[in-house]
Amino acid sequence: MTLPDTAANAAGADRTFQVDLRGLVDLLSHHLYSSPRVYLRELLQNAVDALTARHGLEPAAPTGAFGIRLYADGSAVRVEDDGVGLTEADVHTFLATIGRSSKRAVGVPPDEPVRGWGRIAEQRGDFIGQFGIGLLSCFLVADEIHVLSRSARTPGAPAVEWRGRGDGSYTVRTLPASARPRPGTTVTLTPRADAGEWTRPAQVHALARHFGSLLRHPVTFDDGTGGPGAPVNPEPAPWARTYPTPGSRSRALAAYGEEVFGFTPLDTIELDLPVVGLKGIACVLPEAVPAGRRHGHRVHVKGMLLSEQAEEILPDWAFFVRCVVDAESLRPTASREALYEDDTLAAVREALAEKLRAWIARAAASDPDLLGRFLRTHHLAVKSLAVHDDEILRMLLPWLPFETTDGHTTLDEFARTHRTVLVTSSVEEFRQVAAIASAAGLGVVNGGYTYDRELVHRLPEIRPEVSVADLDPATLTAHLDPVDRETELAAAAYLARARDALAVFDCDVALRTFQPASAPALLIDSREARHERTRSQLAREQEGGLWGDILGALRQEAPRAQLILNQLNPLVRTAVTIDEPELARTSAEALYGQAALLSRRPLRPAESSLINRSFLDLLAHALRKDS
């Protein structure tokens, strides 16, 4: 802990900040770390860094010569390593000064971003810790930290004991080398009564497995019962092992993904970016997820678990996978529970995105069964990618499923029977016209879903023989057959009364013949047309004011809705012969209401009222007739 300089009392002299350690620990526990459990990760992390430095001093030492031993019996938690150790000067410098780290890269400013792949290798550090505050996390579970260390840099170096307390005080003393026969460091915590949840032997072992299962140095755990220490990380990461066949490797990676994430992957994608020392797997989810829902990914840095919720490692469109990776050069935040957003992370994110694109391309080229299962499950994710990726568009657009007047089918199959493809602008519009368009032989695709309309319009890029156009009311009505002149004249009086009844909805009425004959009427009324009519109505109501002038400037010729009556339908043929004015009006309102309901768009209050009123009027007429 840095103490105030006594000479600073002189007038005008520089003064040194004093730190309230209890307040700082409270800040860490409530704002920096997500849980007190991180104390064990920080202890493991310091031990791993010490081992890394020891290997730097003794590069000829065999693999596994130095390790980490954990001990917890309920009354104490101890972490012992065979690392480089500390001298008395190191203890004063690094354990008693908050914010200073013994692991900063020499000559590299700590906050300088990495720009481009060329600089990444230059800043690949060998240490996990970067901030020098990790040991303070131990005060989340203990009031005193005891450190016993002996440096490996100096033969015969004495042991050094440091005791730090939560009130901000500490003591240091030098002990004979026999106090710690081998170089390294032992950190001992005496847990507080309220920290039992995090310091019980079973919990310490579980936390060690959770954070350190991929560490490259051997780690063992002893619960004080006298048995041999249990290995915390008995095997290397699954992607670092050798397998007899590619099939056995693929099965092992899938089994690991299932163990980590709890689902059987549709497939596993190996991730390997040597320039940043990143390896891992991406597991393709076996079930669809909502568009834009981002999953947390499991990220290790140099074997130590950093986060299980690292959304930023992959782009937004990659919500069909969850990945687990171990990287050398990704930079953690101060809490070491998330990734620091810098140029390195951006480059890694793009490189991993390219790995996912390459997997889709391989499936399209060599495994149509896998591709089919993937697209049936994750077509929305692929559509979001295809909108912005021309290569994926060319590869997969013909195979993506769409809702059409021929049912759910691929654009490739749909284009074989429809050289002109019409696309609606909304789901509502598609539902209004689907049955009529299908009977008329028109090929219509529902463009109301996310990405669909934009993708359908790009179909001619890969199928030049196909033309695509937006569906408008004129296109559809042009395919409805007119009735003969005599029928039109006979129905003129009824049509006039119907237009008068529906004028309040800006709706015209026409008589045509179309299939299916079971459909009595078709209401053609787009969302844009309704909005334009609403705006025109507001302009008329506000005429003369500033708001009315603004709306008037925006006003266009308001398109009218169209109620197309089907002369092939028996009910319509009966209705157009009605002579009684009120009954004719009621029947026209009822036909309009039924057509509006079939369109499955939200009803306006006036339309709901009309449907109720016309039903009751027709019921009353039927009862009077029967009586």
**Residue whose token pair is 């260390």:** 149
Token pair belonging to 37: 């459990």
The string over 134-173, giving b where at least 16 C-beta atoms fall within 10 Å of a residue's C-beta and e elsewhere, is: bbbbbbbbbebbbbbbbbbeeeebbbbbbebebebebeee
3-state DSSP call for residue 27? helix
pLDDT at position 122 = 39
Q: How confident is the model at residue 499 (pLDDT cuts 50, 70, 90)?
A: very high
Q: Is the pLDDT of residue 3 over 50?
A: no
CA nearest 604: which of 552, 527, 490? 527
Alpha carbons 500 and 592: distance in angstroms, whole number: 13
Task: Please tell me what DSSP assigns to residue 125.
Answer: -
* pTM of the predicted model over 0.85: no
Tally helices (H) and strands (E) across the chain. Answer: 21, 22
> In this predicted model, what pLDDT tens digit does every residue of 282-304 receive, in sequence order?
999 999 877 556 678 999 999 99
Q: How confident is the model at residue 574 (pLDDT cuts 50, 70, 90)?
A: very high
Query: CB-hemisphere CA count at 13 Å for 356?
Result: 26
pLDDT at position 119 = 35
> In this predicted model, what pLDDT tens digit does every residue of 242-281 receive, in sequence order?
999 999 999 999 999 999 999 999 999 999 999 999 999 9
The residue ranking higher by pLDDT, 437 or 574, is 574
Alpha carbons 337 and 269: distance in angstroms, whole number: 25
Token pair belonging to 504: 């309040």
Residue % of the chain over a pLDDT of 70: 82
> In this predicted model, what pLDDT tens digit does every residue of 172-223 receive, in sequence order?
999 998 889 899 999 999 999 888 899 999 999 999 999 999 999 999 999 8
The residue ranking higher by pLDDT, 99 or 455, is 455
3-state DSSP call for residue 144? strand
**Residue whose token pair is 């709901």:** 608
pLDDT at position 591 = 93
pLDDT at position 28 = 63
Residue % of the chain over a pLDDT of 90: 43
Cis peptide before 516 (omega within 30 of 0): yes
Token pair belonging to 393: 């568009």
Q: Are 95 and 135 in contact (CB under 8 A)?
A: yes
**Residue whose token pair is 């003591």:** 171
Alpha carbons 213 and 230: distance in angstroms, whole number: 12
Hey, what's the torsion of the CAs at 32, 34, 35, 39, to 10 degrees?
-50
Alpha carbons 287 and 303: distance in angstroms, whole number: 30
Mean pLDDT of 486-498: 93
CA nearest 42: which of 56, 28, 31, 30? 28
Give CA angle at 31 (35, 327), nearest 5°.
65
pLDDT at position 209 = 95
Alpha carbons 257 and 263: distance in angstroms, whole number: 8
pLDDT at position 65 = 86
